[in-house]
Every structure is written in C-alpha cells, then in structure tokens.
Structure 1
Amino acid sequence: MPLKLPVPVPSLKNYHHVSLLKSPQLADRIMSKLRYDKIYNDQLQILDVYSSNLVFSLTLNNYLSPKQHILMEDRPEYVKYIRSYFEKLPDPASTTFEHVQSDPYNWQSYLDLTQLQPGFEKRDHIHSKFLFTGLCHLEGLVMQWMACMGNQNWIQKFGNVRMLLWIPQPTALKIMAPANTRERNKCSIVREAFSDSRVIAMPRNKLCNSFQDDVMDECIIFEEDDFSNPVHPMALVEFQPKDNDIEDMFTWDFITKNMMILKTKPVSESVKNLGPGAEEWFKSSLPADLLKRKVNSLEAHDFKVILDKFEEWPFKPETTIEFISDDRS
C-alpha cells in the first residue's frame, strides 16, 4: 500500500501577489470528481509546476500513487516550505516526489528534465502515463502552453498529454468562451481547435454568472475563502489535447490572430488584415454566407476553411511567421 502523505493546512501567507489553494477538503472533492485513479496506473509520471504550498500536489499524489512526481518550483519562499515539509516526514525517501529547483517559465527547465521519460504514445488517445499539472497566475504563459497543443511540441511531443491547471478565473472565462459571445477571442479558438476542455472548479463569485450554463453544470463551485486571496480568483481547467491535420501552424496562427483583431466585423472586412489583395481573393473564393458572418461567430472548422483558401491564394504573403521578443533562454 503506497504511503499516504499528510496534507496540512498551509501556514504560508500570500506571496508574490498570488492566490493559493488552502483547503485540503476542496482538493479531495476535486479528485473524487475527476476519478483519475480509474484512468491512470502505477506507471504514471506527473510534472507539477508552481507547486507552491503543496495542497493540491499532495492530494494528487495520494489519490494516484504515481511512479514519479516532479515538483518544479524555484520561488524562494516555496522552496523553503517544500524542503521543510519533506524533512519532517519519517522517511522522505519513501515518497515518489522529486523537487527540481527550476523556473517553469523558462523553456530550458523542461529540456533539462532528462529524468522525465514517459515515452511517446499515439495521438488517438490521451497519454496514459504522463500528466501535467500546476498553478499558474501568468495568463500569457497559459496561452503559450495551449498553443503547444496545436504545435505538438514542448511536453506535447510525447503525445496528447492531459493538462490539469489552476489558472486565473478571468483567463478561464476567455478560454471557454463559445462563438457569438463578447468574450470570444483567439485563445478560445485554440482551445476549441486543439482540445476537449472543461472547467473542473471555480469560486462562487460574480464572475460565475459570465460563464455559459453548460460550463457551470459540470463545475464544482467552491467558496472564495478556500483560496488565500479572493482578489485573484483561480479556476481549475482540464485540457485534453486532440490531434489535428493542420500542416502549417504558423499560417493558422497568423490568420486567427489577425482576423480576431476585427472580431466584431464581418469576415469580408476582417480578411483585409491578411495582406494586400486579400479582400478581392477571399470574396471570390469563400462562400457568401461565411463572408457575411462576424468573426466572433466563427468556430474552429470555419477558420480551417479560410486557411485552406489562404493556401490556394497565388499572392499570399511570402511568410506568415511573426517574430516576437522572448527573454527566456
């Protein structure tokens, strides 16, 4: 029988202006709902980033008894807390935890994880031996992790790796926004195109009313004081990546990004952002009903239609790769 670790109510105060899960009872409710113990076996490897106060990490470990559970956390206060927790255990070496003092924001941190070898699995199912989880307050980083589902790189190079992430509740609202809503944006198209996703849990607050009914029906609603700082509400979202047949992700990204700049305008107008002469080309090549629709009413498959016509365009831009500054090594 694997060792069940104590999950203390953490004594840590707010740190770095973030909000931390402080209720072991809520963590238990979530794991009971997810039933991951029926999905994963004893060969499971977990990569757990921004592990902070360990409440969710310990509960996850107790329920799943993974073969390996890597905690990637480098913030000094949390590093001190993690070390103190394991030092107090009767036999720290008996756990499957490994603490890696690296920055989850840095791409190099993942390249350095040579001890993480879950193996590749085909993309017709969710990876059976690898789970990525964590608590991330950085919306931009969440968006980059989502993009990797389409690009099939980073941790997604191993196959379709499930991501179970605590993220800011306003970010979850953007990600889950369906077509024809004010919140609809590029990240919700990414979510729709490259994953089957759902909100697992969120706090009871005014923002709840902005989510669609189908999202709320499946969701655990918890009290705001289950987290350390209600000013920064967090929601738990499950991303289940799915395979795609898009050959040029740079062009798909270019089209969705530039058309969503004019998301309240009809397609016939927003295609102007795709380059000189685009308006004339798409008016002659796209269906009339698609041209009349507002961009924020489009679903992922509609953008695939536009992508296919873009690829046929004789005078399309020579490159759709947009270079951005990234100070990470």
Structure 2
Amino acid sequence: MSFYFRPLVCTSSWHVSTLQRTTRHWFPRRTLSSTESKRDLPPESEWRKYFPPVLRVNHRVSIRNAETAAKLADAFIPEGSEGKVIIEAFPGPGQLSRALLNLPKNRIKKMIILEDWEPYLEYLTPLKEDPRVTIVNRDGYNWDTYQLIKDLGLLDDVAQLEWNQGVHPHLHFISHLPSTVTGEQLISQLLRMVPEHEWLFQWGRVPLSFILSDHVFKRVTSGINETATRCKVSIIAEASATITQALPFSALQPYDTHFHPVTPTGGMSPDLKRSSRAVGLPFHSMNVVPLERPHIEKGLTDAWDYVLRHLFVRKATELKSALPGLAPGAQTLLKKVTDPALPEDQRIDPKKKINKLEAHEWAVLLKAFDEWPFKPELKELEKLGPKMKGIVSQSVKEVLQSLVDDGLVQGDKIGSSNFFWSFPSQQGAMIQGRLSSARETRDNLQAQLSEIKESIKTERAARPESESRTQALVQLSALRKQAVGLENELSAYGDCDPAKIEEKKRAVFLAKEAALRWTDNYGTLLSYFTRQNGVDPAEVRKFLDIDEEYEGIC
C-alpha cells in the first residue's frame, strides 16, 4: 500500500482541523482491519459514517440499497445472458458489484472492477476471493486504464466481432457516472467512440449500462420536443445508440432510500436549488446499445462536433438563418439539403429550428457539409509567419492566441487540426450583440424598478401612519432588543448544550483517529527506511520536520 505523506507535526488548531478533514482520506480504518470483516458491507444506515463524503469523492453517488442493487444487476445482465465479461467503473464500496456476483454464475464469467479510492478498495478487495473477480487500482475516467486492461491480457478471451454481427453477447461495460462535468464528459466521449469503433467498441457493438443523475440523463436522452435540455450530446446519442431505461424511474426514488451519500439532513439540500449536480437529486438507470448503422459515418465524428458546436450556438433559430454562421459561404449548403428533387428522407425543412432537427436530418446536413469543397481548411499561420516574414514561431502563437482571446479571430479544433478565421463584419456584429444585451438588461431593470416603486406605494397605502402603529413599532423595537439580550444570555450557557457537547466529542474522536493514522504511518515509514534501507532515523525525522521529543500516540 502506498501512502500520501506530509509533515506530521500537530501543534495548532489548523493542524487539528486539517486532521479532521483528512480522516479516512488516505489511510485504512482501524475499526475493521481484516479482509474477513470487510467481506460484508457496513449497515446501510451507517454508510455516511464509514464512507464520509470527503472532497475527492463527494460527487460520486453509489447504490446503497441492497434490494435495489439486486434489481439493477438483473436489469443490466438479464436472464438469458451467458458468460459475460463485465468491466465495472466507479463501483463505490461495491453494493452493485456484490449484486452482480450474486446473479446465477452462468451469467457472469469475469468481472473487472476499476477503483482507486482506498476506503472503497478495502471493501472491494475481499471480492477477489471469487476467482471471477479482478480489481484494477485505476480510475475509470482515464483512457490509460483501459489500455492497461488490454495489456494485462484481461480481455484476451473476448472475441472481436464485426460490427454487423449483432450486439456483443459477452463484453459489457457498467458504471455509476460521477455527478460532475467529468461524468458528462465521460458519457459524451464514450458515445463519440461508437461510430469510430474505438475504445471497447474495437470488440464490436458492446452494450453499456449506467446509473446517472437526472441532469445528465435528460441531456443524453432529450428528444425534439424537449428543447430546454436537448443539446449536442443528445444528438450524438440519438445518432449512435439506442437508449432504454433499465428500471422505471420510480424504482429509484426517493434518492435517500437508494443511494450514498445521503443528503446531510435526510432531505433536500439547499444546494439543490442552485446546482443541477447537487447530492440528493433524482437518479436514473439506463442501458445503451450501439446502433448497427449509426447516422454518424466512420471518420466524420470531428465534422459532427464542428457543425453541432457552431449551429447549437443559435439552437432556437431556423436552419436557413443559422447556417451562414457555420462558415463563410455555408448558406449555399441550403440548396443541397432542400432540393425538391431529392427523396423526402434526404431533404430538410429550412424553417426547422436547430434544436428540432432529428438525427437523420443532421446526417443529411453533415453529408452535404463533408462534400462541400469550401468547408474550413487548416490555416498554417505558424508556418507562414517564419517562412515569409521572418517572425519567430512562438510570437505567431502568442499574437494569434491574443486575437482569439479578444474575439477578433475565431478558432476551433477539429481532430488534430486547428482552424482560425475572421469576418470583416464580425466585430460590428459582436458590438451590436453587446448593445442589444445591454438594452435588454436596462429594460428589465427599469421594469423591476417600476414594480418596486408600485409595491412601495401599495404598502404605504395599506399601512397609514397612526398612533397605534407608532406604539406597535416602538414595542417591536424593544422586543427585538430583548431577544438579542436573551440570545447573548443563551450563548453563555452554550458549553452545557448537549448537542454541542456531542459535536465536540465527535470532533475529538475524529482528531484522535486521524492522529493515530498519521502516527501509525510515520512509524511504518520510519521502520521501512531504517530497517530495509539503512537510513538514519534522524534524517527521516528531519525530512518530515519531526523533533526529537516526538512520542507516538497510544
């Protein structure tokens, strides 16, 4: 086991608070030390104590309810499955992992579990007693992890099928998706791999199963009638795969009954009103099966990214109005996709709004864009500068970047190529846009001001000045002062408050547990370097800023 080290001196309240924050962050627990005792997960009601939502993993939601995990396992790997090789990412403590292993053994041949968070690994490691299980101490978000799986030979017994040979009957990817931008990026990238036959799709049409937040689920599955959430990811998903819910949405509600971490108060967090990714929002489960014939042709994924990115800037605009913003002269593409001589399934209504276009219509547009001889090409500015004007290449990069930052030059990346362009009228359009936005803001503020003034008049009319009202205001002021005095008196007795005493006891316990872990690992480190490497103990103490009077905590 490797440890994260930092100076271990604890001489201030700052150090104590640091120890409290880092408890169980890098070091194993004392409570359940043996592999035997961690074969079973802690009681579901105590997960927050055993797996506190520290910063590194507080965005990782995991199935906590054993019955729900069993239902999900059966929905992901249903009856009729045979000899499945499962790759599971972000498993958390492993409730779903255990449910999968509890399925009839003929369904699952092998499980490859990806996890790099030490407190979770402690409860996953005992699963290796089942010969079907392999634990890979890596993050499921990094592409190198999957190359490592391949290099280790863990997929050598998985057949590589042709794309037209049907859904892969054996290889299957399952994951909880983190409730962050990282989770959104991951599923977006995986969907982009489908038409290119990259990642696990080298083995064929590999099915995927996800447990994900309502926010990401809607972004991935929104159709043409859900314009508020329909986005680029929705289009890529629709064009690449068939998506179905594994369990009904109601089967995973309410959140606190099924998932970890639970909301701090057992109810909705105030953050839920501010963030679509806050803990406590609803979750979904879904199965994803790559299409045999994706609308995205192999090799055109970067072009789809380019077109979607530029047109979705004006997603509520009709196609005929938005198309000129794709590139100079792009309005000529309108004739190629609206020609009455074309078959109906190869034509697009020019009055359709961008967020109302379906996947097959995007495919028609992308085909026309790919065949267009004037589509944006690479501008080799960095090469032309030194060659023609003797300008240092780095200066070209810096000036070009500053132009992009100032909005005078537009830039975009397609694959490994960088494209830059500038339109003479663009700066004027930008200024006009800012002016329109400022005017709209001014009008809104003026309307709010008028409403507030009207409200003040109404309130004044409803509360005319009178002797009784004056007396009531005086009495209210006196009562407020009295309340402040009582609050101050109450705070003086705060040290005897049972709730505060329990809170302080808990803080002391956490600090002691953290200090024990720090000192234990210091002893392990000191022993390792002195006994096995012959390092002078004084050098180790000096390196860690530990004085000679240090004593271990018993």
TM-score, normalised via structure 1 length: 0.82
- Indicate conservation of the 8 Å contact 1:37/1:63, yes or no: no
Range with bigger deviation, 146-155 or 301-310 = 146-155
- Aligned CA distance change for structure 1 residues 131 and 258 (closer, same or farther; 3 Å): same
- Indicate conservation of the 8 Å contact 1:7/1:58, yes or no: no
Q: Please list the CA deviations of residues 173-218 of structure 1 after superposition, one character each: whole Å capped at 9, or x if unmatched.
A: 11110013221111111111111101224765xxxxxxxxxxxxxx
Question: Structure 2 counterpart of 1:254, which letter?
Answer: Y
Question: Structure 1 counterpart of 2:253, which letter?
Answer: F
- Indicate conservation of the 8 Å contact 2:192/2:301, yes or no: no
Q: Please list the CA deviations of residues 59-81 of structure 1 after superposition, one character each: whole Å capped at 9, or x if unmatched.
A: 12222532210111011221223
Local SS of the residue matching 2:207:
strand
Counterparts of 1:16-165 in structure 2 under 5 Å?
A: 16-17=57-58, 18-33=60-75, 36-38=78-80, 40-42=81-83, 44-63=84-103, 65=105, 66-83=108-125, 85-86=126-127, 92-113=128-149, 114=151, 115-117=154-156, 118-124=158-164, 125-137=166-178, 138-165=183-210
Q: Distance in 1 between matches of 2:233 and 2:131?
A: 37
1:286 corresponds in structure 2 to 337
2:384 corresponds in structure 1 to none
Q: Distance in 2 between matches of 1:139 and 1:268?
A: 30
More helix by share: 2
Question: Structure 1 counterpart of 2:322, which letter?
Answer: S
Q: Distance in 2 between matches of 1:140 and 1:239?
A: 16
Q: Please list the CA deviations of residues 28-58 of structure 1 after superposition, one character each: whole Å capped at 9, or x if unmatched.
A: 22344456231x212x211111111111111
Match of 1:227 among 259, 262, 267: 259
Measure how far apart 1:119 and its partner are.
Answer: 2.1
Q: Distance in 1 between matches of 2:414 and 2:308?
A: 13
Measure how far apart 1:126 and its partner are.
Answer: 1.1
CA-based RMSD of the aligned residues comes to: 2.5
Q: Distance in 1 between matches of 2:40 and 2:121?
A: 18
Question: Structure 2 counterpart of 1:104, which letter?
Answer: G
TM-score, normalised via structure 2 length: 0.50
1:200 corresponds in structure 2 to 246
Question: Structure 2 counterpart of 1:96, which letter?
Answer: R
Q: Please list the CA deviations of residues 131-185 of structure 1 after superposition, one character each: whole Å capped at 9, or x if unmatched.
A: 1001121221121112112222011111111111112221001111001322111
Local SS of the residue matching 1:105:
coil
Q: 2:325 aligned with 1:273, yes or no?
A: yes
Range with bigger deviation, 92-101 or 106-115 = 92-101
Question: Structure 2 counterpart of 1:135, which letter?
Answer: H
- Aligned CA distance change for structure 1 residues 311 and 122 (closer, same or farther; 3 Å): same
Local SS of the residue matching 1:132:
strand
1:238 corresponds in structure 2 to 287
Contiguous gaps of at least 5 residues in structure 2: 1-38, 264-278, 340-347, 379-412, 418-554
Relative contact order higher in (CA < 8 Å, ≥ 6 apart): 1
Q: Distance in 2 between matches of 1:251 and 1:299?
A: 17
Counterparts of 1:211-222 in structure 2 under 5 Å?
A: 220-222=251-253
1:321 corresponds in structure 2 to 414
Range with bigger deviation, 300-309 or 14-23 = 14-23
More strand by share: 1
How many corresponding residue pairs?
297
Q: Distance in 2 between matches of 1:61 and 1:302?
A: 43
- Aligned CA distance change for structure 1 residues 309 and 64 (closer, same or farther; 3 Å): farther
Q: Please list the CA deviations of residues 211-257 of structure 1 after superposition, one character each: whole Å capped at 9, or x if unmatched.
A: xxxxxxxxx44332211235244321211111336132221222222
Local SS of the residue matching 1:315:
coil
Q: Distance in 2 between matches of 1:35 and 1:7?
A: 22
Local SS of the residue matching 1:265:
coil
Local SS of the residue matching 1:191:
helix
Match of 1:166 among 202, 211, 227: 211
- Aligned CA distance change for structure 1 residues 94 and 80 (closer, same or farther; 3 Å): closer
Question: Structure 2 counterpart of 1:27, which letter?
Answer: A
Match of 2:233 among 176, 187, 191: 187
Local SS of the residue matching 2:315:
coil
Q: Distance in 2 between matches of 1:9 and 1:294?
A: 52
Q: Distance in 1 between matches of 2:248 and 2:43?
A: 19
- Indicate conservation of the 8 Å contact 1:201/1:222, yes or no: no
Local SS of the residue matching 2:414:
coil
Contiguous gaps of at least 5 residues in structure 1: 87-91, 205-219, 325-329
- Aligned CA distance change for structure 1 residues 176 and 14 (closer, same or farther; 3 Å): farther
Task: Give identity over the alignment, percent.
Answer: 21
- Indicate conservation of the 8 Å contact 1:51/1:134, yes or no: yes
- Indicate conservation of the 8 Å contact 2:255/2:280, yes or no: no
1:306 corresponds in structure 2 to 365
Q: Distance in 1 between matches of 2:313 and 2:103?
A: 44
Local SS of the residue matching 2:51:
coil
Q: Distance in 1 between matches of 2:64 and 2:327?
A: 50
